[in-house]
């Protein structure tokens, strides 16, 4: 099954907020934008991260999922010195066991401080996973 998810957060750019393929949900890069209009909301790094993560949550909630369903994260941080702030907020948004993660620095246009894209697993949350040590 392939399902286009156009709920939760909008963008002015030509992409779908998320696409579900079977039990996997691919969430497009989200940034600090108004979830109704898609217009960028500039702010401090903290404000932009929180707004971005709120947009991810809105997309997930629109298909009855939560951040606990996210299994993979790719984050883009505009400045090296902002990674510490990102890690602090990350631990508030995601709880252990954490998703797999990649963080890339210095790869954003000047009008963005933060962006994130994710993959979620619709059948189970990370807390339901078998943990291999």
Is the separation of the CB atoms in 41 and 113 below 8 Å?
no
| Tens of each residue's pLDDT in the chain, 133 residues | 899 998 888 777 788 999 999 999 999 999 999 888 888 999 999 999 999 999 999 999 999 999 999 999 999 999 999 999 999 999 999 999 999 999 999 999 999 999 999 999 999 999 888 888 7
Put the strands of the sheet holding 100-105 in their side by side order.
2-5, 18-21, 24-30, 114-121, 70-77, 100-105
* Residue 133: inside a domain: no
Query: Which of 77-91 are b and which e, b meaning 16 or more Cβ less than 10 Å from the residue's Cβ?
Result: bbeeebeebbeebbe
pLDDT, residue 9, reads: 83
Give the domain extent around 104. Answer: 2-128
Read off the CATH number of the domain in which 17 is found: 3.30.1330.40
Q: How many domains does the chain have?
A: 1
Q: What is the pTM of this model?
A: 0.93
pLDDT, residue 43, reads: 95
Show the tokens assigned to 5. Answer: 């998810």
């Amino acid at each position: 099954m392939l399902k286009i998810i156009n709920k939760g957060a909008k963008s002015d750019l030509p992409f779908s907020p998320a696409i579900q393929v079977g039990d996997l949900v691919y969430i497009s890069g989200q940034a600090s934008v108004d979830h109704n209009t898609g217009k960028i909301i500039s702010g401090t790094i903290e404000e932009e991260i929180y707004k971005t993560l709120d947009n991810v949550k809105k997309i997930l909630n629109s298909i009855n999922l939560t951040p606990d369903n996210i299994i993979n994260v790719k984050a883009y941080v505009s400045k090296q010195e902002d990674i510490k702030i990102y890690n602090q907020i990350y631990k508030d948004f995601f709880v252990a066991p954490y998703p797999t993660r990649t963080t890339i620095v210095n790869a954003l246009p000047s009008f963005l401080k933060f962006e994130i894209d994710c993959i979620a697993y619709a059948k189970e949350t990370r807390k339901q996973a078998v943990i291999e040590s």
